[in-house]
Each structure stands twice: as structure tokens, then as C-alpha cells.
Amino acid sequence: MTAARADVDLAGRTGGTCRPARQQPIQEGGLATVTSAAHVPVMADQVAALLAPALEPDGAVLVDATLGRAGHAQVLLDAHPGLALIGLDMDVSAIEESRRLLTGHAARITLVHARYDEMAEVLAGQDRSRVQGILFDLGVSSPQLDDPHRGFAYSYDAPLDMRMDTTRPLTAAQVVNTYSAERLAAVLREFGEERFAMRIANALVRERSRAPLTSTARLTDIIRASIPAPARRTGGNPAKRTFQALRIEVNGELEALSQALPVAMEALTPGGRIVVLAYHSLEDRMVKRAFAERTTDTTPRGLPQSLPSHRPRFRQLTRGALRASAEEVAANPRAASVRLRAAERISRAAA
């Protein structure tokens, strides 16, 4: 993806090598600062290396489930002249821009306006049941964050929108102005892991009774005033978890991912590979669980040998999650929170 995906407080570019994830919390939330190098894919070298064995044969097909501005797609198409790409994105503008950026590969690309939980329908529409590679670069993209009209970032005032797909009806303004305090608090706790969720929810309900909440600036001010002063002094911008939670709610991100991962993994041929870049702990835990379930032998204990129907159908290609190198993070602070996991299909389901 051309746009660096992220849920941290800064922006930037990519490069460098990878290393195992340290045992530390993933940095969460919306983005604040914008830099000039916002359209370079995160961990592009590592993504390319992990997918390369599956994409080498002529006629291999890659599904880029989160196309963005085609940063990863461009790298992979350049590296594999026989590769065909099916690119999905919720954002119509991303599809249009990627089509322009990939003009040189026009004969090998199919771009579809769709969310990744619609992958099965997209593949069926292309008369394909199996593919060799799948890439997810999760989260919100840099162009979306940097567009002052989209409302994803709290660094500038913007309408409370937060839709990745502007053709869908639900906006952040509708969430904060119509949900009950209890429902708002549940969203903030579940999707933002916000410990002051109820305080913030009550404040939002109170303030909207005076005037509808329509701007990111007012939302940020309400959140900041709702959090105790000692808590505001640590952990970055106090609005970041609420912005993350609202964005996930508006776009149905976790529900879509929970549906998309099994479909994606089932679509891989033996030898096919999947790479997922996650930027906050909720996504990463979901990916980790999906991979673990499919790389573990589930033969009941006590049996003399492994049962074919219970043997792993995938193997993990990374030891835990990989992180961007210190050099990449220094050049691109948006890469600081990325966690990369990859797996390879080793067999089909037993009959």
C-alpha cells in the first residue's frame, strides 16, 4: 500500500529490516502530526521477501485486501512480472488513485471497491477460488489521515466523519450524537481500551444536549476535560483511544477482519502465503489467534498418532510478530506500532 498504515501519533516513511516484537504495549489511537513522506509502504522489504516464494510462478495471483495507494502492490508487481493483482479497498478515492499509479501494470490488475470481508464475493466474481498470496495492511491510511475533510486525526479541526468508505451511511457524528451513554462507553472500552470510557461518554451526552457534536476539535476538548489531569500527562494525546474506538465502530473494522481472515486463509493454495500488518493490539490479537488455530495440531491427547483431519494446515513464517527496524521507525514514526505476522498454507483440509 502506498499509504503508511498506522494508529500512532506521528507520520513518516519506511525502510530497514525487521526484528521480533518486544513485550511492550502497542501504541494506539488516531494520528496527529503529518510529514511530507506519508505515502511509502511500511516494511515493504519484509512483505516482499515473505510473499516472494508464493508469487514467483507465472500466473500467481495476489489479493491486496487493503490496497490504499498501492505502495506494496507496486513493489510486488515490479518484482514479479508474471503476477496478477486483485486489489480491494473501501475508499473509492484509493481505488481511483491506485488505478492511476498502476497504469504501467494495467493489464495485470483488477481493482474493486469492496471491504475485505467481501473477499469471497470478489473472488467468485473473478472466477477464482484459490490464490497464491494475500496481504492485509490494516488500519487507516496516511492520505485518509492527512485529508482535513475526513475527520480521522485530532491534530486539526474537521467534520466528525471517519468513514473509510464515504458511500456508507454511519459517521462518527452520528455515533457521538445518537448512541446512549452506556453504548458509547462500551464502544470506547471495547475498541479503544479506554479506562475513562464512562466519564467520556457521560460528557459527550451532556455536551450534545447543548449543541450537536460536529467537529474533531470540540470532541478533543471534551475528551481532554473528561480525563483526570494526572492521566493526561502521560500516554500521548488523551483523545487517541477515543478516536481509534470511533473509527473502528464507524467502519466495522474488527467485525470485518474476524470474517475476512478465515476466508482469506481458506482461499490460499498449498504453498500460498498470507502477510498481515496490524497497528493496534485488538487487530494483532485477532490475527495471532487466527494463525494459532490453523498452525496447531488439535488431535485429542492420548491418541497414538496425529489424526489427518486435526493436523495443521498452515505454518507460521514469523516467530511472533515482526517489528519495523529502529532505522525505519526513525525515518517513519508511523511504523512504530506495526506488528507483522505471516503464515504459509502447507495442505488442504482433509476430506
Determine the pLDDT at residue 156: 83
pLDDT in tens, 134-177: 999 998 877 787 788 888 888 889 999 999 999 999 999 999 99
Determine the pLDDT at residue 324: 96
Q: Over the range 225-261, which residues count as b (16 or more CB within 10 Å of their CB) and which as e?
A: ebbeeeeeeeeebbbbbbbbbbbbbbbbbbebbebbb
Q: Please state, in angstroms and rounded to a whole number, the distance separating the CA atoms of residues 322 and 299.
A: 29
Q: Determine phi and psi for 150, rounding to 5 degrees.
A: -90, -25
Determine the pLDDT at residue 249: 97
| Residue whose C-alpha cell is 513485550 | 23
**Number of neighbouring beta carbons within 10 Å of residue 150:** 21
SS (H, E, C) 161-176: CCCCCCCCCCCHHHHH
What's the pTM value of the predicted model, to 2 decimals?
Answer: 0.85
Percentage of residues of the chain with pLDDT beyond 90? 73
Q: Determine phi and psi for 192, rounding to 5 degrees.
A: -120, -5
Q: Please state, in angstroms and rounded to a whole number, the distance separating the CA atoms of residues 64 and 116.
A: 9
What domains can be seen in the chain, in order of their start residue?
A: 18-143+253-345 (3.40.50.150), 155-251 (1.10.150.170)
| Residue whose C-alpha cell is 487507516 | 140
pLDDT in tens, 44-56: 999 999 999 999 9
Question: Looking at the predicted structure, is the pLDDT value of residue 87 above 60?
Answer: yes
Q: Please state, in angstroms and rounded to a whole number, the distance separating the CA atoms of residues 115 and 164.
A: 10
What secondary structure does DSSP assign to 55-111, as a single string?
H-STT-EEEETT-TTSHHHHHHHHH-TT-EEEEEES-HHHHHHHHHHTGGGGGGEEE
CA torsion sign for 319, 142, 97, 121 is: positive
